[in-house]
Amino acid sequence: MSDVIPPPPRTSELVVVRMQELIRSGQWPVGERIPAEPELVEQFAVGRNSIREAVRALEHSGMLVPRRGDGTYVRSANMLTAAIARCVPERAQLELLGARQAIEAEAAAEAAVVADAGCVADLYACLARAERTLASGDMAAYTQADIAFHVAVVNASGNGLLIELYGGIIEVMAHMHQQVVDATIADGVHPPGHRALVDAVAAGDAAAARAAVHSYLDHARRGLSA
* Domain boundaries, position 176: 91-225
Does one domain contain both 113 and 64? no
For the stretch 188-218, pLDDT in tens is 566 668 999 999 999 999 999 999 999 888 8
Q: Is 86 part of any domain? A: no
Does one domain contain both 60 and 135? no
The answer to whether 166 and 154 have CB atoms below 8 angstroms apart is yes
Answer with the one of 46, 77, 108 that is the final residue of a domain: 77
Long-range contacts from 34-37, C-beta under 8 angstroms, 24+ separation:
34/64, 34/71, 34/72, 34/73, 34/74, 36/71
Pick the range with the lowest mean pLDDT from 5-19, 37-51, 84-98, 118-132. 84-98
Domain count across the chain: 2
Instruction: Supply the CATH number for residue 152's domain.
Output: 1.20.120.530
Q: What is the pTM of this model?
A: 0.72
Return the H-helix or E-strand segment holding 72.
strand 71-74
Does one domain contain both 116 and 198? yes
Q: Is 83 part of any domain? A: no
Instruction: Supply the CATH number for residue 68's domain.
Output: 1.10.10.10
